[in-house]
Structure 1
Amino acid sequence: MGIDRNNKLEEYINKVCLLIKNKDVHSDIKLELTDHLESIKEEAMNSKLSEDEAIDKAIAHMGDAEVVGKQLNKAHRAKLDLKTLIPVLSISLFGLLIMYFIQTNSVVAEARNLKVFQQSLVYYLIGTVLMLGLYIFDYRELLKYSKHIYIGTIIIIISTILFGVRINGISYLNIGFAKINFTEISPFFLVIAFAGIFESWSWRTSFKFVLGIVIMFIPLMLISTSSLSTAFICIVLCLTIMITSKAKLKHIIISIAAVTIVPYLYIMIEPYRSKRLFTFLNPYSDPQGSGWLYIQLRKTLSSAGFLGNGFNLNPKTIPEVHTDFIFTYIVYSFGWLAAIITIIFIAFFIIRMMNTAKSTRYSYGKLLVIGFTAAFTTQFILSITTNLGFSPLFGITMPFMSFGGSHIITDMMSVGLILSIYRRKNLGPVLPEESLA
């Protein structure tokens, strides 16, 4: 008889859940309904009712399963965060439009042969599909793979350094049909790995602190051998993760002191390039002409009006304008007004990510969003300040806008995970199946 009685409660709960389309909330709702029904049942039994009568009273008190199910379905409907999606799509479409003008006006040498517009269109379509797929995917399932993602990222970075194809001094991962700048997109994977590893990390013990620093320092050291800009992004990312996962102030200060070895490592590996880092302060000071590009940037930006000069930028003015200097092209061609609007959309996107992090209940989801926020913010700032001549030429792309398949796709995938987190912002960790029975 006990089994039949339990089945009666389970049958009611299952009928309710069948009407709730958002399956992500089923586990929480089952637990909540079970708790309410058991509480009412116990109260009824304490008032001398039989167990069968108590169960019937509990179900009657909760209400008709169909009515309750429809109400809960309306309350827990999966939401697409348009306040995140709209600025991302706006920036991306503008980037695609820029690729069209760059190609049709031959702003970059061999732009027509490269077909930067057609390739970008393919990258954006693939990225959009993956973004929507990750929005549907339950991000919480990634937690158990955090260590695997970390180890895999380290292995791929090492393989890229040792066996990659060198193009313009940068090591690319050669996978046969494509060459991927894995170093550039490694922060995406490190965010996922670090969020899972440090989600419940205790920085208070000396062993855990040292181990945490080692875990963060290994990829940082490897990345710094290939890209100082990506290393800087990773430094900001690591410090942000430490602060969010409640590391002590003294630990953060020690970590900051420890990462100062990165620029020294870069100087040892690239002595000539490191000397040129501060040429932007006085571009005319180097007789060898290392400040030429800074001078070109200043001339190009100073000639741009509020509404721009059109799309006739000379290909010899600034090299690689479709990748590292896309913001300069925006200012020159579309004017400072378009540049300001672009920055506003970027700021709105960053603020929205911060709001999503604040409203996310699960600490793992919170760490993920904060990690992506740190990575995107640092990349945007570095890209814009470099284009304006306010910082060294790091050689960094603008998220969602610059030409390049690997970074466009991973940028869109990052947004997909952020949308997935927003969709499930009120949910805690995934519960074991046996606890849902």
Structure 2
Amino acid sequence: MENPITAYIDKVCRRIKNKSLHQEIKLEIEDHLMELKENALRNGCSEEEALDQAFSQMGDPDEIGKQLHRTHRRKVEMTIILPVFITSIVGLLSMYFIQSYTPDGMIGSIFTNSLIYYLAGAALLAVFYCLDYSRILRCSSYIYAGAILILLLSLFIGVRAGGAPYLDIGIAMLDVSGISALIVGVALAGIFESWNWKKPADGVIGIGILVLPVVLLAMMGVVSYTLCLLICLVVMTASGAGFRQVTGFVTASAAVPVFLFAFDFAPFSYFAPEAVRNSVEISSLLSSAGWFGAGFSMNAGTLSEVHTDYIFVYVIHSFGWLAGISLLFLISLFVLRMIYMWKQVKPGQGKLAALVIAVVISLHFIISILTNMAVLPSLGIALPFMSFGGSSILIDMGAVGLFLNICHRGYEETSVGTEVPA
């Protein structure tokens, strides 16, 4: 015969669509019922009478379930979703006009491809938002192994386009250096979420786990190496690594470029060959933009890699400085909101992974915008949600979904125990 308390709790949970909360709610309601039952027993009630009284005081399970569902229903975080949507629309419109004004055969169907990438990215964002993030983080070691395998394959059988490494998987070309920071960073965050840096053996193993992707990415280029090094340092410091471990990691990682230079490993010194020429062209295009733009005549022949590395230059030149400043303001709010949301997450609830996502996306924004302002040379960093590129759009969208998932779950962890009706 089914336990009456279990049957009551199951009725409550059937009304709550957010299944990731069921376990915590079950424990909370069970505690309430047991407390009410014990009070009734102390007042002289029989076992059966005590249970009936406890159920009566708790209330109708269907109503409780409905109330908890309304309280813990997943809310759409518009301060994150809206900037992603607006920048994506601007990026898609830019692809349309670039393709329209570029001579046939010079750039391909970037608008159609972008539309497919954005739709797939939106679906991926929704999937990662709805999944139980703890299951994803439990697979961190497998994600890490997969990332290492992709890096190895790109080094041995990958191809280089404009100096950047790509991996041909048949249906698409993966921009390995562009997506590696997020994938490796999230994997490392899951691995080191509860890492014990105080144990000497774990400290050595941890440094080895961190150094391996740094070595592989250093063989692909200075930008990939630097980003991975920064992300590893964020993971180490946020997970409690001491000064000795951080020093050991930095020393080992710093030896990598020395070794590569000593053996004249060319890819490490890669910078886009068009960097100097493009910087002159960028200044001219930006100065002629005006507040409302200079029209849509700019195309792939005007500026090399305009649809990828220099999409922000295109937006300012075509739509005007007013549009560019508005986008900068929106991006700034987006980054600040990510930081605020990350700070609300409790340690141990995916907080490290949320930090990595916020840092990587923020760095991509900063580096890409500085490149578009001719402050930095072309480093092959896509402007999140705007630059053309299937792999970068998919990874960025999926990362936003995972970030929202972690933050939403982090809020629930702090409130679920106080929301059950008494």
How high is the TM-score relative to the length of structure 2? 0.90
2:18 corresponds to which of 9, 15, 22: 22
Matched, 1:323 2:290: no
Matched, 1:338 2:323: yes
Pairwise mapping of residues 8-407 of structure 1 onto structure 2 (< 5 A)? 8-106=4-102, 110-111=106-107, 114-249=108-243, 251-264=245-258, 267=261, 269=264, 274=269, 291-313=276-298, 315-361=300-346, 363-407=348-392
Residue 241 of structure 1 deviates from its aligned partner by 1.6
Distance, in Å, in 1 between the alignment partners of 2:246 and 2:315 is: 38
Residue 254 of structure 1 deviates from its aligned partner by 4.9
Distance, in Å, in 2 between the alignment partners of 1:263 and 1:392 is: 20
Any stretches of 5+ residues in structure 1 without a counterpart? 280-288, 430-437
SS in 1 for 2:139: helix
Distance, in Å, in 2 between the alignment partners of 1:173 and 1:272 is: 16
Code of the residue aligned with 2:383 in structure 1: it is M
Code of the residue aligned with 2:214 in structure 1: it is L
CA contact (8 A) 2:117 2:394 kept: yes
SS in 2 for 1:172: strand
Residue 49 of structure 1 deviates from its aligned partner by 2.5
Code of the residue aligned with 1:35 in structure 2: it is D
Residue 15 of structure 1 deviates from its aligned partner by 1.6
Q: 1:185 to 1:265 in 2, by over 3 A?
A: farther
Alpha-carbon displacement from aligned partner over 1:27-67 (angstroms, at most 9, x marks no partner) = 11110000111122223223333222222222122122233
Q: 1:115 to 1:316 in 2, by over 3 A?
A: closer
2:403 corresponds to which of 418, 425, 435: 418
Distance, in Å, in 2 between the alignment partners of 1:243 and 1:307 is: 45
Distance, in Å, in 1 between the alignment partners of 2:261 and 2:157 is: 23
Give the aligned length.
413
Alpha-carbon displacement from aligned partner over 1:285-311 (angstroms, at most 9, x marks no partner) = xxxx97323222223323332222122
Q: 1:271 to 1:9 in 2, by over 3 A?
A: closer
Alpha-carbon displacement from aligned partner over 1:88-147 (angstroms, at most 9, x marks no partner) = 011111100110111111189713xx1111111111111111111222211111122111
SS in 2 for 1:246: coil
SS in 2 for 1:291: helix
Distance, in Å, in 2 between the alignment partners of 1:345 and 1:72 is: 34
Distance, in Å, in 1 between the alignment partners of 2:221 and 2:284 is: 27
RMSD between aligned alpha carbons? 2.6
Alpha-carbon displacement from aligned partner over 1:364-388 (angstroms, at most 9, x marks no partner) = 4211111101111111111111121
CA contact (8 A) 2:155 2:220 kept: yes
Q: 1:266 to 1:389 in 2, by over 3 A?
A: farther
Residue 152 of structure 1 deviates from its aligned partner by 1.4
SS in 2 for 1:12: helix
Q: 1:272 to 1:79 in 2, by over 3 A?
A: closer
Distance, in Å, in 2 between the alignment partners of 1:379 and 1:396 is: 6
Is 69-78 or 114-123 further displaced after alignment?
A: 69-78
**Percent identity of the aligned residues?**
39
SS in 2 for 1:231: helix
Q: 1:126 to 1:266 in 2, by over 3 A?
A: farther
Distance, in Å, in 2 between the alignment partners of 1:13 and 1:108 is: 64
